[in-house]
Structure 1
């Protein structure tokens, strides 16, 4: 599947004329490619897919003297290999430059890849635009090319368009505009030649969009514009303000390398498979990820816009300026951009407290995937387009960001920054492998006298060359020296007794530890060749608690001996704020997951949760909420579910009372997010009547007067509650609001809210709409709709039956639509796995997979999903009774919890109605929104 390197491109001239108003939805193209001969050959292979090439127009000439070479044949393997080969009568000469030319026609497809068409409605009129999405290997669908990231070249783009309110933009500024001969009303835009770049970064757009130009003071010397459909122009101001500020901050303060292009365009696309795409100089986004209305958009929507912009603009250096050599190390692009989301957003929005959010969004999320035996190394060999697309996953994004964060921490962040600048300068406009990054960081460490136990490369390769991560067992000696033994083992949620994996997993682990969060942490290294080390002395005395992995900067979990764990538990119960927020979150997440993996008792883990009655902070509650939500899902429908709900009511009620249902003007950013956590449990999972009644009241007031807007921060939660608690009128109102909404953020929230219904007929109707042409469910939103229905306890079986019974119809509808992270059918299947908790459902899932080996057999995400489902069934067998017995021992505690007095009514815990199921999908979704995680739309580039 790889191209030979006999000839390599140096420059392209690409002329494209898309027909988006005529109705045939094709693009007429002509291309000239200059190539340099590296090895004598009489055949030239390049990539092409779904192109109709005019064989008569193929020419190959010596660029120096214009001497033509006779073309013997064209071998067209577009279907099976996505390659065409031009065979010549005589061989090319090493060192000489040749020009390849041809005409072709490409399809302006509706698969959201290559050069494709998108639609929207403006003033009742259907509008079309043509836009590109070339990553991963889809430039070949727009024009014949050497479509591999290390075959960089200069691109000169010429785009035609109808001169009727339309415009054309590309990576570079317009150099010249002229009429198209013999086509009245059509124009050519000639764009300046690009800098040297990879084919997957080529971008162009033909549309009736309007632009908003940013204040030039925000990013001096760069013309910065935000493009959107005319009716959405009033939602571009926020992006126009923060985008250039972030770009300028990266250039002047972080990378210390000027942005090399004279302009930056950012465009909001109605139909877009990814979250966004970092095309050099023309970044494209889903509308919901670029547009923001300060009056109607939620705080989470605002944060999502900021983090995705910060992610994409980091790519302008890490990915565009310096590019990975091949897709096996796409993490060099995506991991670094995911890491940079946090400082980039923090620069323009310090009130978001991004540093506190990292662990509970990126780190804890990817732990859940990397703890599977079916995980993969960060550096993972891929070959085919399908394999390449599967690399856009949590391992490349979140794990990549986590190990970069860990590296920055043990080097020291200022040293790390300077090492990154060294790396970028050394490889400007080139391609790299991960060893190039390690080398630059090592050189910087040496220059600044940073002492490490081994080279940066040897340390970091233990994290990139093998999958998984360790759990560190800390056993204290409690003698006069107050020392400890720290040992490592691979952390697995479930060990397969039939595993054939013979790898011995060990990592270089940077250990940090403290008994005083107001003082600097102490540190040691656990070598990659050792199972354990002795730490001769810990800070404090043997009567003090010790916490390892300070700030959870390291990519590992921790288990303590029982005495130290009791000391920590006592501190949490007595005065929990003595321990940092991030480490409170770490302790909860670690213990609820090591218990799930049978490495400690669930009794120990559940005892830690008792202090939550006094916890009000975002990070600890988010960590607890996600981990406890897993237990909530496992208990669903089982005999002792009521005992579980009673215990959780005792934990959540004080938090609900603290944040209250009603928002306050004084709420800080993370208070808004914490309220979402509280109401998620109170309104949905626990049916606290005050919460449900308030939500029903507000939603019905909206139904009575749709000019009475709901709070943007509570809109989805309120709608979800009332739709689950109601019947078809409530759903129909929400659906109509979803269809008519002109606010992309609101539209996404309402799409998720309408899936909260527990009416099986309505759930089936939505699934049918998902695969119906010209329905109100866009292709890009189909996976979101399906995954939300699958996360609804009632909808889960509906979704599984729908996928089982209508597989061929669904597969035919999605056709070539892939999106990031692999095929659509694999993604739909994966979304069914999390709620499986019985053998019957597991058997149905296994049969579904075995019935469709071609679509599901080789998918990494499918393998991971099956492992999760099997582990769920095993969990119920192993842990259900333990937790039930512990819950019964706590019932006396739960019944003494104080009743929460609120206005206008008193909180009660009697189940309301059907709302008991409506928000079981919300805790996963709130994490997706707050983190930008891609995972519903995260793998995304987030390219």
Structure 2
């Protein structure tokens, strides 16, 4: 006879019951939480790494967020031919068997953040936390993802979510599900990739310690209760006192957060020379197909597809943060004093969830810098510049000859993840360019981007290339 402890208050969809002939490996965290990794007997040799990694994740995550009294046990089960990919149920996480070595690496993250009952629209940020944690706590990813560094998966998820978020078929992070068929659509690249990207951007705005305090405040306040996205932003406002917002006054996280969670899409920031000592920055919504219409309920967002955008740029070796404001009254540009002899990048390390584009002079300065010494920029910054260049070319804001000139430095590039970036754009390159340029260009991309894609978007080479480098600088 099996006996069970009393079920806590929870959403019914978080309940899981499993009957199987699987076998398991078992371990415990330092505070005694029992972990068991279950699989079919023929997969038993794959469980050791997954068990060790999951226990480590649990311990690190609990310490970071101050959560240490939620669950007494956690079972993690590899289910053959599991169509959902993964389900983070209460104390029993299920996932597809082929992902045994990989998915369990992140399992401890999911259920901890989802331990409260159904958090209606804030659940998107729980799923996005998979992407976020790699940036919030480097050790979580760094220890177990070699040769990857902790942010490499994050930037790949960022690119994937932006590709979807540039379409009229996208949706806001925080949205109401009108019919049951919309539920599966809510667990997509927007929830995971964009959710993590937005939270990471918020973290960089308020600082890691403030972010940590706010999340702890939110989790403790709404443990075993229902909550909304706005409740999370309010928890930030209750916790953070000394962070300045776009107007120079105290940051209003509720207003700032809603701009990014309640309207879909993201901004394109354009940087143009203004005079000999300044550049002008403006914003607009980035759309791959501007004439396409979204669902009717998303056509008139309260913020008019404008955002208060945090920008990060380097000047004389120091990192600066400024705001390109949404400006309800008029579309006023932002002017920055710069050294016109030095290229400027306003999204250092891909901290912000936006694209950037330059005038001709701006791109030429970046091209010269890449050719002379590309390592003056971090790997993540280089990744962002190239990704943004492709994005600008796709909407006819950058000609492809300039793009190819930018990419001409690639034979000197040592970071293999950076070279994987171009693969999703091969089809577009073939469509937009003809003749010798197309043949040479596409062949180059095949050489540097020949990897097998997993179902979750990560490449096989990313986990199976011993000795390969990553986006982190050597």
TM range (shorter): 0.7 to 0.9
Aligned to 1:430: 225
Aligned to 2:126: 333
Q: 1:230 to 1:320 in 2, by over 3 A?
A: same
8 A Cα contact 1:486 1:533, kept in partner? yes
Per-residue Cα deviation, 1:406-444 (whole angstroms, up to 9, x for no partner): 111111122111110111011111111011111111222
Please report the TM-score for the alignment, with normalisation by the length of structure 2: 0.87
Q: 1:524 to 1:435 in 2, by over 3 A?
A: same
Aligned to 2:68: 258
8 A Cα contact 1:508 1:528, kept in partner? yes
Per-residue Cα deviation, 1:824-870 (whole angstroms, up to 9, x for no partner): xxxxxxxxxxxxxxxxxxxxxxxxxxxxxxxxxxxxxxxxxxxxxxx
Aligned to 1:535: 335
Q: 2:173 aligns with which of 370, 378, 386?
A: 378
Aligned to 2:270: 473
Q: Distance in 2 between matches of 1:627 and 1:590?
A: 12
Q: Distance in 2 between matches of 1:593 and 1:272?
A: 35
Aligned to 1:186: none
Matched position secondary structure for 2:31? coil
Aligned to 2:379: 581
Matched position secondary structure for 1:195? coil
Q: How does 1:31-46 map to 2 (within 5 A)?
A: none
Q: 1:928 to 1:384 in 2, by over 3 A?
A: same
Q: Distance in 2 between matches of 1:412 and 1:266?
A: 33
Q: Which structure is larger by alpha-carbon Rg, 1 or 2?
A: 1
Aligned to 1:396: 191
8 A Cα contact 2:142 2:149, kept in partner? no
Q: 1:191 to 1:235 in 2, by over 3 A?
A: same
Shift of residue 509 of structure 1?
0.3
Say whether 1:442 aligns with 2:237: yes
Q: Distance in 1 between matches of 2:300 and 2:8?
A: 46
Aligned to 1:489: 284
Shift of residue 195 of structure 1?
2.3
Shift of residue 595 of structure 1?
1.2
8 A Cα contact 2:134 2:154, kept in partner? no
Q: 2:389 aligns with which of 586, 591, 607?
A: 591
Shift of residue 642 of structure 1?
6.2
Matched position secondary structure for 1:554? coil
Q: 1:526 aligns with which of 285, 306, 324?
A: 324
Q: How does 1:721-740 map to 2 (within 5 A)?
A: none
Q: How does 1:793-812 map to 2 (within 5 A)?
A: none
Higher relative contact order at CA 8 Å, sep ≥6: structure 1 or structure 2? 2
Per-residue Cα deviation, 1:881-915 (whole angstroms, up to 9, x for no partner): xxxxxxxxxxxxxxxxxxxxxxxxxxxxxxxxxxx
Say whether 1:190 aligns with 2:3: yes
Per-residue Cα deviation, 1:283-308 (whole angstroms, up to 9, x for no partner): 11211122x4xxxxxxxxxxxx1xx3
Shift of residue 338 of structure 1?
3.4
Aligned to 1:919: none
Say whether 1:271 aligns with 2:85: no
Q: Distance in 2 between matches of 1:332 and 1:647?
A: 38
Gaps of at least 5 residues in structure 1 are: 1-176, 178-188, 293-304, 657-676, 681-716, 718-921, 933-943
Q: Distance in 2 between matches of 1:402 and 1:534?
A: 24
Per-residue Cα deviation, 1:158-208 (whole angstroms, up to 9, x for no partner): xxxxxxxxxxxxxxxxxxx2xxxxxxxxxxx12111222211111111111
Q: 1:208 to 1:202 in 2, by over 3 A?
A: same
Aligned to 1:458: 255
Q: 1:422 to 1:926 in 2, by over 3 A?
A: closer
Q: How does 1:698-737 map to 2 (within 5 A)?
A: none
Shift of residue 472 of structure 1?
0.4
Q: Distance in 1 between matches of 2:105 and 2:91?
A: 14
8 A Cα contact 1:360 1:619, kept in partner? no
Q: Distance in 2 between matches of 1:355 and 1:341?
A: 5
Say whether 1:316 aligns with 2:111: yes
Q: How does 1:760-799 map to 2 (within 5 A)?
A: none
Shift of residue 496 of structure 1?
0.9
Matched position secondary structure for 2:312? strand
Q: Distance in 2 between matches of 1:545 and 1:487?
A: 17
Shift of residue 643 of structure 1?
5.0
8 A Cα contact 1:483 1:534, kept in partner? no
Q: 1:930 to 1:374 in 2, by over 3 A?
A: same
Q: 1:354 to 1:630 in 2, by over 3 A?
A: farther
Give the superposed CA RMSD. Answer: 2.7
Shift of residue 365 of structure 1?
1.0
Q: 1:498 to 1:549 in 2, by over 3 A?
A: closer
Per-residue Cα deviation, 1:793-832 (whole angstroms, up to 9, x for no partner): xxxxxxxxxxxxxxxxxxxxxxxxxxxxxxxxxxxxxxxx
Shift of residue 606 of structure 1?
2.3
Shift of residue 652 of structure 1?
6.0
Aligned to 1:58: none
Matched position secondary structure for 1:204? coil
Matched position secondary structure for 2:333? strand
Q: Distance in 2 between matches of 1:366 and 1:323?
A: 24
Please report the TM-score for the alignment, with normalisation by the length of structure 1: 0.45
Say whether 1:235 aligns with 2:46: yes
Q: 1:220 to 1:242 in 2, by over 3 A?
A: same
Q: Distance in 2 between matches of 1:204 and 1:502?
A: 43
Q: Distance in 2 between matches of 1:456 and 1:288?
A: 41
Gaps of at least 5 residues in structure 2 are: 463-474
Q: How does 1:560-709 map to 2 (within 5 A)?
A: 560-628=358-426, 630-632=428-430, 634=431, 640=434, 643-649=437-443, 651=444, 677-678=448-449, 680=450
Q: 1:272 to 1:497 in 2, by over 3 A?
A: closer
Shift of residue 648 of structure 1?
4.3
Q: 2:97 aligns with which of 260, 270, 287?
A: 287
Matched position secondary structure for 1:522? strand
Q: 1:631 to 1:514 in 2, by over 3 A?
A: same
